[in-house]
Amino acid sequence: MTKNPSRRLSPREQTHLARFSYPQDKWNQIGEQPVEYVTGKAEFFGHVFTVDKNVLIPRVETEELVDLVLTTIREKKLSKSKIKLADVGCGSGAIGLSLGFVLTKLKPDFEFYLSDYSSEAAAVAQKNGENLLDQNDLTKFHFLTSDLLNDYPRKKFDVIVANLPYIPSERVDHLDSSVKDFEPHLALKGGPEGLSLIYRLLDRVDGYLADDGDVFLEIDHTHSLLDFSQYRKDWQMELFKDEFGQNRFICLFKRK
């Protein structure tokens, strides 16, 4: 599976391997394996994250989710004495830590929880935090293993962001080999419609959200606001497309 000498590496992949000093005489031995797993490094939002087989490789589209959250924080949250945030299903920690980098410059007082169902993934996120943050900033971050919000402290968060598994499970086996054969299926399969974990989170999130709190979700391109109609009574919702024109993010906030 991993040996495919006929694979032609893209210029981006070649640049990545060269940047992280992977020996060029071994380039033809990596087969369909993503170059990020080969080097153990992935670039996201201007930072380099450690990745391994326990976490998804962060996608460039997800950088837009970080921008959406930051826009909301700048517009609505900076006046708060302390901002509480959670990244549920954090994987490598790319979303939460990228937000955290900006918050360390914008806001002196905040608290950030990053969690994953997989203890191995949560450990990768914590390692990235330790590698990328200085000691003073690191004290504002908490890394935990949790099935969604089950093991969270009873806090009222101002922002909850979640990039949960959202691909309909039966479609995973039809993804590119570089994805289905190497990336963790636990982080890909979202149930029959790709919404099982997202619905579970939304059914419980209200008890963990401040009155003016916001929830940000990454979704599959096949999802739309119609898939969230059962929440319209209690939530206002806005759908955002990614740079490729695909449905990709939903922001929810409580109705007054």
pLDDT tens, residue by residue, 42-70: 999 999 999 999 999 999 999 999 999 99
pTM value is: 0.94
Question: What is the predicted pLDDT for the residue at 2?
Answer: 44
pLDDT at 15 over 50: yes
d(CA 72, CA 70): 5
Please write the tens of the pLDDT for every residue from 104-133: 999 889 999 999 999 999 999 999 999 999
In a shared domain, residues 10 and 110: no
The reply to whether 170 and 201 lie within a common domain is yes
| Shared-domain flag, residues 130 and 223 | yes
Q: Which of 216, 90, 93, 107 is nearest to 157 (CA)?
A: 216
Torsion from C-alpha of 9, 241, 64, 184, nearest 10 degrees: -50
Please report the pLDDT score of residue 6 as a whole number: 58
26 DSSP 8-state letter: G
- Please check whether residue 44 lies inside any domain of the structure: no
Chain-centroid distance of CA 190 in Å reads: 14
Say if residues 96 and 104 touch (Cβ distance below 8 Å).
no
Q: What is the extent of the structural domain holding 151? A: 51-254
The stretch 199-212 carries a mean pLDDT of: 95
The mean pLDDT of 175-183, rounded to a whole number, is 93
- Look at residue 1 in the predicted model and tell me its pLDDT: 42
Q: What is the CATH number of the domain that holds 116?
A: 3.40.50.150
Rounded CA Rg of the chain:
18
Query: Do strands 83-88 and 235-241 pair parallel, antiparallel, or not at all (unpaired)?
Result: unpaired
* Residue whose pair of structure tokens reads 């419980």 in the numeric block: 204
Q: Domain tally for the chain?
A: 2
Residue recorded with tokens 């979202």:
190
pLDDT at 238 over 80: yes
Which amino acid is present at 144? L
Q: How confident is the model at residue 159 (pLDDT cuts 50, 70, 90)?
A: very high
Tokens of 112: 């950030």
Is 134 a member of any domain?
yes
Residue 46 lies in a domain: no
Per-residue pLDDT, 5: 52
Q: Which two tokens stand for residue 231?
A: 């929440």
Of the given ranges (5-9, 43-47, 74-78, 181-185), which has the lowest mean pLDDT? 5-9
